[in-house]
Amino acid sequence: EGDVFKYYSEGEWKKSASGKSVAIINPTTRKTQYKVQACTQEEVNKVMEVAKAAQKSWSKTPLWKRAELLHKAAAILKEHKAPIAECLVKEIAKPAKDAVTEVVRSGDLVSYTAEEGVRILGEGKFLVSDSFPGNERTKYCLTSKIPLGVILAIPPFNYPVNLAVSKIAPALIAGNSLVLKPPTQGAVACLHMVHCFHLAGFPKGLISCVTGKGSEIGDFLTMHPGVHCISFTGGDTGVAISKKAGMIPLQMELGGKDACIVLEDADLDLAAGSIVKGGFSYSGQRCTAVKVVLVMESVADTLVEKVNAKVAKLTVGPPEDDCDITPVVSESSANFIEGLVMDAKQKNATFCQQYKREGNLIWPLLLDNVRPDMRIAWEEPFGPVLPVIRINSVEEGIHHCNASNFGLQGCVFTKDINKAILISDAMETGTVQINSAPARGPDHFPFQGIKDSGIGSQGITNSINMMTKVKTTVINLP
C-alpha cells in the first residue's frame, strides 16, 4: 500500500501500525481518489505525549521567533497553493479558483495571526490594590497571558485548510502545541498544509496530524486527558463532543440556518446578487450560506424573478472546470438534500427550476412559497437548494429567524439604516450583516454563533485569547 499518505508525528511522516487505511472518495467521480492512514489509539497517545513535551520548550521560545516561523509557514503555504488546491478539487469538489483562494486566504490568516499575536501577547496589565475598598496601595498585580498546553483542532470538510490554520496559527503563536485531526474528505489537503509547517522548521512534535476513522480515534482524541482545549468546526458531532469533553475550554462552530430578510425598500438587485452568492457559492456547503430567504410579499415576485435570472446563469459541472455548482461532498449528503426537496414537493412548494440530480451533482434550485411545515424551512441542506418564505411583516421574519435552533448569522436588506439596526438587535444570531450576505471574513472579525451554532467566539484575535489563560503575579509591598 505504497499509495497511502502518511500521518505526521514527532516531526516525521509515518505509516500506522494498524496496517489499515481510510479511503477518500472523489465527490465527482465517486471513486477512491486517495488513501490515508487509519491511526490507532496508541499512536494518538504517542502524539499527545510528544505534544506535551514540545509545548514546554515552545512556550519559552521568544514570541518574535514564534511569529517568524509562522510568517515562514505562511509564505511556504502560498508557494504550495497549486498542489494543495488540486487536493481540494479532488477531495471536496471545490471549484478550482475557490480552492486556490482558500489556500491564499489561509496564508494571509497565518501571517495576520503572527502579527496580532505579537501585539496582544506582547503586553499585559498592571493593577494597584487601592482602588478596591479597604486596601492601601500595597499590592501590585502584573497580568500576562500564558498558553493552555495542547490544543486539539478538528476542522470540517468544507474548508479543510483554512479552518485548520484558523486553529493552528492562534494555538502556536500563543505558545501551545497542536494536534490536528483532519476531516476524511480534505485529509490530504490538510497533510499537505502540515507539510508546509514542517518545511518552515517548527520543533519536532509541536504539530502533529493524525488521520483515521472517527469511530476508532474520534472520542479517544476528544476525551483524551492530554488535551487542554478543543477547537472544532463541523456539524452535530460538536454537540456530542461538548457533552463528553472534560473541563477544558471549547471553541465550537456548528452550522446554521442563516436567514436573509428582505424589506420593501431594499435594493432588490443587490439583495438578489447577495442571495445567489450567499446561497449557492460552493454549492451551499458553507455554514454561513444564506439558508432561508424571508421576503416581504409586496416585493417577493420581483425578487424571486431577479434571483431566478441569476440562478439560470450559474454553471453546473465538475470543479476542475471551475463551475459554480459542483457535486456535493458525498452520496449521503446528496440523498439528504434530495429528501428535503421531496418533502417540499409533497407539501406543494413552488419549484422555480426543475429538480435535477446526477450522482452527487445537484442543479441549483430555488423553492418559493415554502411554509413552516416543510422540513426545508428549518433544516440545513448544505447543498444548492434555497427556500423562500413570503412574509407580511418584519416581525414575522424575525420570529422565523429566532424560532430556529441555530443562530450563526443573518442578514437584512433595507435602505433604512435605523430599521436595520433594530432588526439586527432583534435577531438572535452571532452576527447580522446589513445589506450583504453572511460571511465569516475578513478573518480578524469576531465570528460566533449562539444556540446550537456554537460555543465561544472565533476570529483571529478572539482565537488567540481563548487559547491562553490569564496568569497574575502579585507583588506585596511591606
Residues of the shown chain interacting with ligand G3H in the complex, contacts defined by CB under 6 A: 158-159, 286-288, 439-441
Q: Which three cell numbers, joined as nine digits, stand for 458?
A: 472565533
Q: What's the closest the beta carbon of residue 247 comes to ligand G3H, in angstroms?
A: 26
Peptide bond before residue 442 is cis, with ω within 30 degrees of 0: yes
| Degrees, nearest 5: CA angle 343-392-384 | 35
State how far the Cα of 280 lies from the Cα of 288, in Å rounded to an integer: 11
The least CB distance from residue 408 to ligand G3H, in Å, is 9
Q: What is the largest distance, in Å, between two alpha-carbon atoms of the chain? A: 82
Task: Provide the minimum distance between the beta carbon of 123 and ligand G3H in the complex, in angstroms, as a whole number.
Answer: 29
| Residue of 39, 209, 260, 287 marked catalytic | 287
Strand partners, 413: 262
Report the b/e string of 401-426 with b at 16+ CB within 10 A: beebebbbbbbbbbeeeeebeebbeb
DSSP string, 92-124: H---HHHHHHHHHHHHHHHHHHHHHHHHHHS--
- In terms of CB distance, is 192 or 440 closer to ligand G3H? 440
Nearest to 427 by CA among 454, 391, 444, 451: 451
Residue type, 6: K
Nearer to ligand G3H, 116 or 258 (CB): 258
The residue among 368, 371, 337 whose CA lies nearest residue 351 is 368
Shortest distance, CB of residue 158 to ligand G3H, whole angstroms? 5
Shortest Cβ contact with ligand G3H: which residue? 287
Quick check: is 253 catalytic? yes
Residue 304 backbone phi and psi in degrees, to 5:
-60, -40
Assess whether 287 carries a catalytic annotation.
yes
Q: Which is nearer to ligand G3H, 101 or 302 (CB)?
A: 101
Of 164 and 365, the one with the shorter C-beta distance to ligand G3H is 164
**CB 443 to ligand G3H: min, Å:** 8
Q: Within a 10 A sphere around the Cβ of 250, how many other Cβ atoms? A: 18
Residue number with CB closer to ligand G3H (108 or 368): 108
Residue 207 phi, psi dihedral angles, 5° rounding: -120, 135
Q: Which of 43, 102, 116, 253 is catalytic?
A: 253
DSSP for residue 348: T
- The nearer residue to ligand G3H, 8 or 447, going by C-beta atoms, is 447
The least CB distance from residue 36 to ligand G3H, in Å, is 22
Instruction: Give catalytic residue positions.
Output: 253, 287
